[in-house]
């Protein structure tokens, strides 16, 4: 079945919204279950779980992308959404299996990559940036409301209802893909037979990273992305747990924090980013974003009161302009036939950080003994005193040591970014093939030795 209507960006947007809305509902229950399952070394175990998931996603994304070029996007949208949401009902059935399946689900947790390929199939090159921006904004919007709704329902009716609701929304997403989402990849763009070979170059997750050293400008950009996104990936994996355990935030406060941060990030990545790009230029926008990120991470690291976290969150929203600005710089300066190669390098670097960052943050929390024996309950009359007592016990050390490490890493990224020229041509030695161009044949046509292909990331502007 071809679904409802013609393939459109709105099909992709709904798929992303439903998937991350379901996971957003579980924000507060996951923090509680994580601490109950791993009462000792909570941060370390959280980092390991998210780190394994991120590394598996990094390793599997190119292969899934290559296969989606052969078998179409719809089947892989279905596969990735199903396995990404598979752990949800296990939260109440068996917490140990829940976290184990989360780790293993990283093999298929690449819905964003398949969605971007879906969007690339149905948009013209000049429309792609706006389409990707719409998908990214939808992701942020899904996290604006769902944690607050999940926290409220959990407090009023119990976490079991939240898990059931999240499971129902995940099933709705799967049914939507089955019934409503049409295939975006035309038959004529696929190989003649399903038995078409998939070369190792297409499935090699390190293929894009191998090209980094071939051009000094690309090398500078990739180092900047690695040093700035490594702490960001680690922060995403542990920060809400940090707010809940160390800073004494209630479930409702964490949900409100996510909502405010999401709204401010949407504004920063649309209105503010556009104004800055026109007024101070691309490179200066990157430097400004990195400066905000250093300030944010330092504030998180030294902050010992809840109001400091709220203030740093506002700065964090401004730091979200960095990666869109980097992508725009690459898109503007790379040749048309090199867009996918260079963007693939940056995406590969981010995928690597998604695996290394959480594990690194968990390990730093562990070696600095930042743990709690009991989960503070700020909702009760004694909750605030528990958190305050814990902070007094920890005043001999830095409250958030991984965040200070992250600030130092971003400072190095800022120093590297100073050497990136504002206007240049990126000369990446790559093949001159295009993803779905009829004059060049299908993506699996023969190529010269040593030429690597990026089937999923070709012509990507994110």
CA–CA gap between residue 352 and residue 90 (Å, rounded): 27
Percent of the chain with pLDDT over 70: 74
Confidence class for position 31, pLDDT limits 50, 70, 90: confident
The residue-averaged pLDDT of 388-405 equals: 61
pLDDT of 273-294, one tens digit each?
Answer: 878 888 888 889 889 999 999 9
For residue 387, what pLDDT is reported? 47
Low-confidence winner among 90-99, 261-270, 394-403 (lowest mean pLDDT): 394-403
The residue-averaged pLDDT of 248-269 equals: 82
Quick check: 171 pLDDT over 90? yes
Top-confidence residue, 185 or 201: 185
Quick check: 393 pLDDT over 50? no
Quick check: 198 pLDDT over 70? no
Residues 273/390, Cβ–Cβ less than 8 Å: no
Mean pLDDT of the chain: 75
For residue 18, what pLDDT is reported? 93
φ, ψ (nearest 5 deg) of residue 426? -85, 115
pLDDT of 323-373, one tens digit each?
Answer: 778 777 776 666 544 555 565 567 677 778 887 888 888 888 888 776 644
The residue-averaged pLDDT of 25-34 equals: 84
The residue-averaged pLDDT of 375-398 equals: 45
Confidence class for position 313, pLDDT limits 50, 70, 90: confident
Mention every residue, 6+ apart, whose C-beta is less than 8 A from residue 378: 248, 249, 250, 253, 384, 387
DSSP 269: I
Residues 39/372, Cβ–Cβ less than 8 Å: no
Task: Provide the strand spans (E) within 169-231.
Answer: none
Top-confidence residue, 186 or 197: 186
pLDDT of 218-252, one tens digit each?
Answer: 788 888 988 998 888 888 777 877 887 777 788 77
Top-confidence residue, 37 or 379: 37
For residue 193, what pLDDT is reported? 47
DSSP 426: B
pLDDT of 102-117, one tens digit each?
Answer: 888 888 887 877 887 7
The residue-averaged pLDDT of 293-310 equals: 85
The residue-averaged pLDDT of 42-67 equals: 81
Q: Which two tokens stand for residue 131?
A: 């389409």
Residue identified by tokens 């119990």 is 158
Q: Give the number of other CB atoms < 10 A from CB of residue 368.
A: 16
For residue 331, what pLDDT is reported? 64
For residue 415, what pLDDT is reported? 94
pTM above 0.75, yes or no: no
3-state secondary structure of 334: strand
Domains for the chain: give ranges and CATH numbers: 1-184 (1.20.1250.20), 209-371+399-422 (1.20.1250.20)
For residue 411, what pLDDT is reported? 94
DSSP letters of 276-305?
A: HHHHT-HHHHHHHHHHHHHHHHHHHHH--S
């Amino acid at each position: 079945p071809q679904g409802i209507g013609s393939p459109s960006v709105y099909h992709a947007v709904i798929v992303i919204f439903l998937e991350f809305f379901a996971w957003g509902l579980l924000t507060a229950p996951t923090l509680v279950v994580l601490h109950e399952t791993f009462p000792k070394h909570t941060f370390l175990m959280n980092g390991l779980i998210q780190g394994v998931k991120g590394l598996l996603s990094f390793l599997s994304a190119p292969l899934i992308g290559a296969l989606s070029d052969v078998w179409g996007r719809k089947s892989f949208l279905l596969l990735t959404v199903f396995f990404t949401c598979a752990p949800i009902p296990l939260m109440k059935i068996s917490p140990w299996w829940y976290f184990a399946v989360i780790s293993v689900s990283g093999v298929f947790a690449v819905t964003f990559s398949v969605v971007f390929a879906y969007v690339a199939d149905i948009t013209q090159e000049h429309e792609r940036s706006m389409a990707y921006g719409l998908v990214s904004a939808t992701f942020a919007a899904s996290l604006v409301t769902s944690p607050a709704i999940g926290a409220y329902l959990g407090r009023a009716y119990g976490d079991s209802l939240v898990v059931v609701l999240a499971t129902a929304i995940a099933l709705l997403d799967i049914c939507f893909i089955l019934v409503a989402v049409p295939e975006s990849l035309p038959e004529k763009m696929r190989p003649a037979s399903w038995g078409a070979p998939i070369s190792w170059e297409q499935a090699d997750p390190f293929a894009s990273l191998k090209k980094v050293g071939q051009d000094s400008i690309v090398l500078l950009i990739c180092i900047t992305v690695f040093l700035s996104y490594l702490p960001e990936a680690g922060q995403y994996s542990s920060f809400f747990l940090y707010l809940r355990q160390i800073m004494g935030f209630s479930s409702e406060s964490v949900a409100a924090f996510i909502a405010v941060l999401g709204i401010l990030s949407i504004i920063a990545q649309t209105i503010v980013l556009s104004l800055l790009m026109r007024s101070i230029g691309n490179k200066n926008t990157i430097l400004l974003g990195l400066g905000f990120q250093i300030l944010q991470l330092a504030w998180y690291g030294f902050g010992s009161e809840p109001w400091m976290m709220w203030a740093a969150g506002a700065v964090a929203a401004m730091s979200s302009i960095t990666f869109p600005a980097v992508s725009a710089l690459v898109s503007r300066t790379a040749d048309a036939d090199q867009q996918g190669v260079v963007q693939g390098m940056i995406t590969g670097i981010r995928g690597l950080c998604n695996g290394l960052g959480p594990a690194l943050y968990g390990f730093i929390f562990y070696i600095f003994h930042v743990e709690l024996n009991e989960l503070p309950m700020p909702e009760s009359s004694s909750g605030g005193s528990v958190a305050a007592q814990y902070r007094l016990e920890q005043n001999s050390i830095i409250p958030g040591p991984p965040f200070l490490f992250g600030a130092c890493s971003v400072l190095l990224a800022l120093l590297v970014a100073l050497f990136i020229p504002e206007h240049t041509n990126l000369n990446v030695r790559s093949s001159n093939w295009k993803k779905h161009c009829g004059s060049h044949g299908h993506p699996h046509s023969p190529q010269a030795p040593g030429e690597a292909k990026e089937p999923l990331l070709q012509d990507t502007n994110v």
